[in-house]
Structure 1
């Protein structure tokens, strides 16, 4: 998912349970279900929520046999702000499901 434009990271979700345990590692930001999966992302401030979540679904859908629910858990501000009125810190724990 980190290759999807607008996605800057994966998050464990508000409850910390959006993780998948593999034999050799832990994958944060993905929770598998019998009916599909959840993907929890951090997005870039300037990215479109709709465009980014659709791109995440397209990237993940071939790998799972069901629904792909995308949750934006954090929106990170741009590295350089051109306006003094820009958000000074990440907007975290939005819990915005699309």
Structure 2
């Protein structure tokens, strides 16, 4: 069953990483929250026909109660439910993100501009 909406795992990941409560993406305990693309894997985003799952590393515990709603709002309508799974909490004294030893996980793009691009591409 196809929803008719094209979903790009790399763009979803970029949008989620712009959120202030998200320190990084989390692939799950065994890497099960991933999307496999030719020659690469997008950890923290799993796209299925019936659901999109986003795995995150939360920046702090204060963000937890609202984090799922913030992720869903930033992603916008995807034509299927979005489950948000918090796999870890970031250490405030460590600039690196679990699973990202370089500390370069968050891109500079804004969630609004990335979401607008996704919506424009789905109009055609």
Whether these two folds match at TM > 0.5 is yes
Post-superposition CA distance 1:13-42 (Å, at most 9, x none): 022111101235311001111112100000
Give the number of the structure with larger relative contact order, counting CA–CA contacts within 8 Å between residues 6 or more apart.
Answer: 2
Q: What is the count of residue pairs matched by the alignment?
A: 80
In structure 1, runs of 5+ residues without a counterpart are 81-89, 91-98
Post-superposition shift, 1:46? 4.7
Q: TM-score, normalised by structure 2?
A: 0.57
Find out whether 1:54 has 2:78 as its counterpart. Answer: no
Match of 1:68 among 78, 82, 90: 82
Higher helix content, 1 or 2? 2
Higher strand share: 1
Following the alignment from structure 1 to structure 2, what is the Cα–Cα distance between the partners of residues 9 and 29?
9
What are structure 2's unaligned runs of at least 5 residues? Answer: 1-15, 99-124
